[in-house]
Amino acid sequence: MSAALKSPSAIKKRRNRGELHVVVTQKHRRAIQKLVAWGKQNARTFPWRSRRTAFRVLIAEKLLQQTAARNVLTEAYRRLVAYCPTPSQLARADVQRLQHIVEPLGFIYRAKELKRLGKVLTSEHNGRVPADLRSLLNLPGIGDYTARAVLSFAFGARIPVVDTNIARFLHRFFGLASPIPANPARSTALSKLAAEIMPPGKSSAFNFALLDLCAAVCTPSAPKCEICPLKNTCFTGRLRLSTKRNQLQRNRIERLRGELNAARSRRNRRLHS
């Protein structure tokens, strides 16, 4: 990545020509520090965040794979870790009972997958969650995103966690012209970029802050740039806010012009009456 960021309009022109290149500047890094501070103040509370063990994080990420309904998920998670607090208990679990627990999430077939996961953890990893990417990816039903999330949130590994929301954030923050890839967790370019802006020693705080920002502020269809801690640095935020300011100024000028014309008409009527 090369060439420094200039004004949003200059970058927009270059982006339209398909020439945008990004360099991570000190300004970006300071903004990311602000994001981490914002994340501490605005962290969402979930049971899998407060009592974090590798197994709990793995279970939570597994359940999170296919649902955004956090309240339904929280309940299923609570019931699941109460019934199976360890991999060996998950390996011995009754499938029907597991099905009953995950049913509200809409994927009962996952019950068998969970049990298989417990069995593999017990037989191949001494009842522990492995702490390396390759072994995690070899677990049943664990893909790139989940494996990376476990490494970051359970083991504090310095590894970026890029899902569709975070990919969208990176595109917005840096004004990337390329389309968001279908499987962002596998995008080397996005992972490298996320790793580049990750503050040293704060990888899981950074990843949590990004997830929370994307859930509450940098939302898919209507990002709330006005209240975003990154609004002064983010390419898209600056563009959106300056467009909004210009529109407000145009509206104000139009209103003043209308008032002036009305005053002129009144004066002319008075002069000719």
Q: By the criterion CB under 6 A, which residues form the site for ligand SF4?
A: 169, 172-173, 217-218, 223-225, 228, 230-231, 234, 236-237
Q: Is 94 a catalytic residue?
A: no
Half-sphere exposure of 96 (CA within 13 A, CB side): 0
Active site residue 132: no
Could you tell me the smallest distance in angstroms from the CB atom of residue 227 to ligand SF4? Answer: 8
The H-assigned helical ranges of the chain are 8-16, 26-42, 47-50, 54-64, 70-83, 87-91, 95-102, 110-124, 133-137, 144-155, 164-174, 188-197, 203-216, 235-272
Nearer to ligand SF4, 28 or 115 (CB): 28
To ligand SF4, the closest distance from the beta carbon of 190 in angstroms equals 15
Q: Return the closest-CA partner of residue 212 out of 202, 222, 204, 200.
A: 204
Taking the least distance from each CB to ligand SF4, the nearer of 187 and 236 is 236
Nearer to ligand SF4, 59 or 218 (CB): 218
Q: CA–CA separation, 160 vs 157, rounded Å?
A: 9
For this structure, is 61 an active site residue?
A: yes
Nearer to ligand SF4, 36 or 157 (CB): 36
Q: Taking CB positions, which residue lies at the least distance from ligand SF4? A: 237
Instruction: Give 156's DSSP letter.
Output: -
Residue with tokens 């490298």: 192
Instruction: Give the Cα separation of 264 and 270 in Å (integer).
Output: 10
Q: Which is nearer to ligand SF4, 76 or 225 (CB)?
A: 225
Provide the greatest CA pair distance for the chain: 101
Among all residues, which ones are annotated catalytic? Answer: 61, 145, 163
